[in-house]
Amino acid sequence: MTLPLGYFDKSDKRVCKLKRSLYGLKQAPRKWNEKLTAALVENGFSQRKNDYSLFIKSLNGVFIALLVYVDDIVVTGNNVEEILKFKRFLSSKFKIKDLGVLKYFLGIEVIRSDTEICLSQRKYTLDLLSEFGLLGSKPCQTPIEPNVRFDDNNVNDLPLTNITQYQRLVGKLIYLTLTRPDISYSVHVLSQFMHSPKVSHLKCAMRFLKYLKSAPGLGICVKKSDENSIVVFVDSDWGKSIMERKSITGYCLFLNGSIIGWKSKKQSTISRSSAEAEYRALADASCEVI
């Protein structure tokens, strides 16, 4: 007799012990992460507390960084021999496939030269435009209209009947901010209405896609430099949110002339003056530097 998957006979008091995690089971990803983490710790890697997908090994002047996403791994470091040695160790523990020099990872395209590495999401952007039927649209010069403000009291602005499309679009745009600092604020504005979007919000999002059409391959470049400097630009917009009267913090962080961090976020509390909003933004940027 063939029993359906997950069948349990109430008359049978025995319990089955799972000796090996299988694909499709809820505990499979956790067991895989535990096994991979144990192997990396055995090789001398330490897991970062602020980013559990990042593992670092630093010993006797040798530095190796390893970034993990499920079973996709990126390895880099300052010693080629040690990297090859680590690959052999990893091959002895798991069945792996070495794809060579990094060119494409999780939708991010990597272009290398002798002096810099450029990261972009051109294919991801074009696929996004094609999905929403705007691949042949006329480009816009700005992501959203200047000084745009959404008012919940506008009775002429009707709520969307199908909010799934808006949520899917904004979710994809959030991932696009990994290599596009120029759209951080615009995506921040659109993401505030994920649970109850209206027609004006969807119209603004579609205009945003037309801006992406103007430069789909725009990204960031990390340049090789002998400098050792950190430069931060920070600003705030006092009382930008007309619904909550909260201010907006925006900053970008440069290491040796290359941008490595940026954020546009609504402040957690209401500032009573523009000076207070500026100090809060400065505190957030200082925490990021530290």
- Residue 115's pLDDT is 85
Task: Check pLDDT > 80 for residue 1.
Answer: no
Task: Check pLDDT > 60 for residue 158.
Answer: yes
Query: pLDDT higher for 184 or 14?
Result: 184
pTM of the predicted model, to two decimals?
Answer: 0.77
pLDDT of 173-210, one tens digit each? 999 988 888 888 888 888 888 888 888 888 888 888 89
Domain residue spans of the chain:
28-100, 119-219, 225-289
What CATH number does the domain located at 28-100 have? 3.30.310
Region of 142 please: left (phi>0), alpha (psi -120 to 50) or beta.
beta
Overall average pLDDT of the 250-267 stretch? 88
Task: Check pLDDT > 70 for residue 12.
Answer: no
Give 159's DSSP letter: B
pLDDT of 82-92, one tens digit each? 899 989 998 88
pLDDT of 93-128, one tens digit each? 888 888 888 888 888 898 888 888 899 999 999 999
Closest by CA to 98, choosing from 108, 83, 116, 112, is: 83
- Residue 4's pLDDT is 46
- Number of Cβ within 10 Å of residue 56's Cβ equals 15
